[in-house]
Amino acid sequence: MVGTLLVHLLLQVVLLYDALGWDVRMPKEIHGPKGSCLVIPCSFYYTLYPPQNPARIVWYQYVSKGYPLVYDPWYPNDVIWKFRWNTDLYRRRSWDCSLLIRKLEQYHHGEKLYAWIDPENVGKSTYVFYDVTSTIKVDESPQQPNISIYGGEKMGDTVTVTCSTFHTCPYSEPTITLNGLEGSDQIDNEHIKDGLWKITRTRKGVVKAERLTIKCSVRHYGGREVTAMKFISAKCVHQKITIEPELTDVTVGITKNFVCRVYHSCQKENPTITWNYKNMQVTTTEKTHWGLNRLIYSNIAFLATKEDNGKKLICTAKFSGGDITASVILHVKRVLLYDALGWEVSMPKDIHGLKGSCLVIPCSFNYKSNPPQNPRRVVWYRRDSEGLPLVYDYLYPYNVNEKYRGKTDLYRESDWDCSLLIKNLESSHNGEKLYTRIDPENIAWQNYETDDATTTVFIDATPQQPNISVSGGETTLDTTISKQITLTRTGVVKAESTTIKCSVTHHGGITVTATEVKSSKCVHHNISIEPELADVTVGTAKNFVCSVYHSCQKENPTITWNYENMQVTTKEKTRSGLNWISYSNITFLAAKEDHGKKLICTAKFSGGEITASVILHVKRVLLYDALGWEVSMPKDIHGLKGSCLVIPCSFSYKSNPPRNPRRVVWYRRNSETLNLYH
C-alpha cells in the first residue's frame, strides 16, 4: 500500500508560465482510503497580475464543458452533489490552496479536480488553471500498520515498540492502539511529503513474559480499522542462587535443614534442583516472589557424619540454558557423651582463625541428670601445655595463662552456650588444644577425662580471599547483582568489561581484596534503511542511509552494502545514554536491471550480524535524442487482481513541443501488431 500511495505522489504537475508570472502546484494524482478524509496539497505563486482577493479560492471538477463546483464558500449550494458539504480549504499559509475532502467515497475515484485563485478577477488569459489538475484514487482499505521492536532480548529488559502508519488526513489523525505491553507512550505525526503524513506511537516498557503478543490497531477517520501483530520472544533469567543458613555448623547424628533458593523469571520452565548428598529427605516448593521474579525452594534435611567436616554441600539448579550452583562448607561439631553423668557437650574438633583477628569456638551443653549448681560458671583450659592451664575463668582472671590473659571472654547467646571468644589471635596460639568445664567445683568431670574432648586452634597467616559471584549482566544495559560477602549490590552494566573489586577488612585491621572481571556482550537494538520507499531513476544518483542502533563502546560494527563500486561514507555518534548510532550512506546509481532487486545493508558485530533491506523500484528514462524528448516509466509493475492499477509516466522535452500536450495515447505491444489500448 505504501508503494501504491507514494509512487503516484512522486509525480507532480508543475506548469510554469514565466511570461505570465503565475505558478500553481499540486500532485498529478493522489491516493486515499475509502471512508477517510483527504487533503489535496496545493500552492500558488505569482510575480505579475496579482489577484484582487488572494484568499478567494474555488475548486472545480475538470470536465470538457462548464465549471462544476467542488468547493466555493460563496455558493455552497451550487457545489455538485458528490462534494456538497464535504469540502473545505486546508490552509497553513497565505500561498496555500489545499483542498480538504472530509470523507472519501468510492464515487470520488477518478475525479479530476483543479483550483482557481480569485476566479472573478483572474481569467484564463492570465493563467490556465485547469491545466493543473489532481486525480483522486480511492483505495478500498487502508494499509496495515508497521510494528518495530527494539531490545527486549531477556525478561526484565527494557523494550521499545513503535507502531506507525501513513495517512492522508491531517484534519483528523488516525488513532493508534497498542496492546500487549504496558509502558509510557509518545506520539509523533510527521509530514512526509505533499499529501502524505506518517503517525507513530512509541511505547517503552519492560518485558514481563517469555512471549508477548504485540497488537497494533489503527482506526482511521471514518471508522476504518486495520490491525497488525508481532511477537516478542524473550529468554527467562536466573538471577541468583543461595543456600541458607550460610553458617553451616552441623552436629553428628542431628538433622539440620538447609534451604536452597533460586530466583528466576521463567514462567514456562521450572528449574530442577538437586543436591550432591543423596538418600536424604528433600522437598521442593515454588511461589511468586515479586514482580516478574519467581522463587523456588528446595529443603534438604541433612544428617551429618564426622567424615563430612570440611566437605561442601552443593545445590544445583538446572535450566534449559545451563546450570547454576551454590555451596557451603560443612563444619561438623562433635557431641561428647558423658553417659554416667548424663551430660552432652558439643564443640568442634578443630577450628581455624586469622592471625590478628578474633575467634569464637562454638560450644553448647545439655544434661539429663546431675544438674550444675551454677550453670553460668564456665571455665576453659589448655591441655598438654606448660605453664598455667587456665584459658578463661572470670573468678580468677590473674591465674589465666599469659597467652590468653585479658584476651578471652564467653560469647554466650543462651544459658546452654559455653562458646569461648579469643579477642586477638597470635601465632603462639597455633596448635593449642582447649577444653571446657561447666561448674567444675560441683561436677565430677575429673572422673571422665578424655583426650578427644578438646578443640585444636589453627592460626592462618593470611585471610581467605572474599568470594565474588556475579549474576546477570550478560549484555550491556542488563541489571547485574554483585555479591560482596554479605553485601549485595544491584546495578546496570554500562560497559563491555566491568571490574568488580571486593575489599574485606577483618577485626584487627587486616584487609584482603578480590577482583573479578565481568565481560558483557554489547547489544545491537535495531537496523533500518531510509528512505523506506526506494523509488530510483535510471542514471540518477539517490542517497540511502543505513542506521544501526547499538550499545558497543569498544567495538564499532562493520557496515557493508550488497552493491559494490558505489560511494559509501560511514560515521558514528552518541545518541543518548549508553546507546550509539552508526550510519552508512550509499550514493546509489540505479540501472534498469536493478528493478525489483533488494538493496541490503549488513552490520557485522563480533557476536553476529543483522541486516535490513528495501526493494528497489526503478523508473526508466527513455531517451528520444533526435526528438529532444524524455519519457519516464517503470519497466514492469505489479497489481492486484480485481483492483485498479496506475502505471506512473511522465515526459519532458527540449525541442519539438507538442501541439496538444493533453493528447496521450497508450498501446499494447505483441509479436504481430500494435493495438490501441487507450
pLDDT tens readout for residues 233-290:
887 777 788 999 887 788 877 889 999 998 887 777 778 899 999 889 998 887 766 5
Give mean pLDDT, residues 306-331: 85
657 or 162: which carries more pLDDT confidence? 162
pLDDT value at position 11? Answer: 36
239 or 431: which carries more pLDDT confidence? 431
pLDDT value at position 393? Answer: 92
Give mean pLDDT, residues 462-480: 57
453 or 10: which carries more pLDDT confidence? 453
Would the pTM count as exceeding 0.75? no
pLDDT value at position 68? Answer: 94
The answer to whether residue 624 scores a pLDDT higher than 90 is no
pLDDT value at position 136? Answer: 93
pLDDT band at 101 (very low <50, low <70, confident <90, very high): very high
**Cα–Cα distance between 493 and 673 in angstroms, integer?**
72
**Cα–Cα distance between 648 and 636 in angstroms, integer?**
11
pLDDT value at position 343? Answer: 81
pLDDT value at position 461? Answer: 81
**Cα–Cα distance between 363 and 419 in angstroms, integer?**
4
**Cα–Cα distance between 334 and 344 in angstroms, integer?**
10
pLDDT value at position 574? Answer: 64
Contact 331, 309 (CB under 8 A): yes
Residue entry with cell 555451596: 327
Mind listing the pLDDT tens digit for each residue in 181-231? 988 888 888 888 777 888 999 999 888 887 889 999 998 887 888 999 999
**Cα–Cα distance between 417 and 421 in angstroms, integer?**
12
Share above pLDDT 90 across residues of the chain, in percent, rounded to a whole number: 26
pLDDT value at position 13? Answer: 37
The answer to whether residue 92 scores a pLDDT higher than 60 is yes
End-to-end CA distance of the chain: 26
The answer to whether residue 159 scores a pLDDT higher than 80 is yes
Q: Residue 250 pairs with which residues in a beta bridge?
A: 332
The angle at the Cα of 154, spanning 152 to 156, to the nearest 5 degrees, equals 85
Q: Which long-range contacts (CB under 8 A, 24 or more apart) does 70-74 make?
A: 70/99, 70/113, 71/99
The answer to whether residue 534 scores a pLDDT higher than 50 is yes
- Listed in sequence order, the residues at least 6 apart from 143 whose beta carbon sits closer than 8 Å to its beta carbon are 1, 2, 5, 33, 165, 166, 226
DSSP of 593-640 = GGTTPEEEEEEEETTEEEEEEEEEEEEEEEEETTTTEEEEEES-----
pLDDT band at 476 (very low <50, low <70, confident <90, very high): very low
98: amino acid identity, one letter? S
pLDDT band at 3 (very low <50, low <70, confident <90, very high): very low
Give mean pLDDT, residues 593-605: 87
**Cα–Cα distance between 203 and 619 in angstroms, integer?**
37
463: amino acid identity, one letter? P
pLDDT value at position 17? Answer: 36
**Least confident stretch, 400-404, 416-420, 643-647, 672-676:** 672-676
Share above pLDDT 70 across residues of the chain, in percent, rounded to a whole number: 85
Contact 365, 371 (CB under 8 A): no
The answer to whether residue 307 scores a pLDDT higher than 90 is no
Query: What three-state secondary structure class fits 428?
Result: helix
Mind listing the pLDDT tens digit for each residue in 636-663? 777 777 778 888 888 888 888 888 888 8
pLDDT value at position 14? Answer: 39
The angle at the Cα of 72, spanning 70 to 74, to the nearest 5 degrees, equals 155
pLDDT value at position 495? Answer: 67
- Listed in sequence order, the residues at least 6 apart from 628 whose beta carbon sits closer than 8 Å to its beta carbon are 653, 654, 655, 656
- Listed in sequence order, the residues at least 6 apart from 13 whose beta carbon sits closer than 8 Å to its beta carbon are 25, 26, 27, 28, 132, 133, 134
Give mean pLDDT, residues 411-431: 90
pLDDT value at position 6? Answer: 36
Residue 624: how many CB atoms within 10 A of its CB? 12
**Cα–Cα distance between 149 and 378 in angstroms, integer?**
70
- Listed in sequence order, the residues at least 6 apart from 608 whose beta carbon sits closer than 8 Å to its beta carbon are none
Mind listing the pLDDT tens digit for each residue in 351-364? 888 888 889 999 88
pLDDT band at 1 (very low <50, low <70, confident <90, very high): very low
Given 3-state DSSP classes, what are the helix, strand and coil percentages for the chain, each rounded to the nearest 5?
5, 50, 45
573 or 482: which carries more pLDDT confidence? 573
Between the alpha carbon of residue 418 and those of residues 399, 439, 677, the distances in Å are 20, 11, 110
**Cα–Cα distance between 265 and 239 in angstroms, integer?**
8
Sheet containing strand 359-361, strands side by side: 359-361, 420-422, 408-410
pLDDT value at position 113? Answer: 96
The angle at the Cα of 26, spanning 21 to 27, to the nearest 5 degrees, equals 140
Sheet containing strand 196-206, strands side by side: 146-151, 158-167, 196-206, 183-193
pLDDT value at position 502? Answer: 82
**Least confident stretch, 58-67, 473-482, 602-611:** 473-482
pLDDT value at position 477? Answer: 45
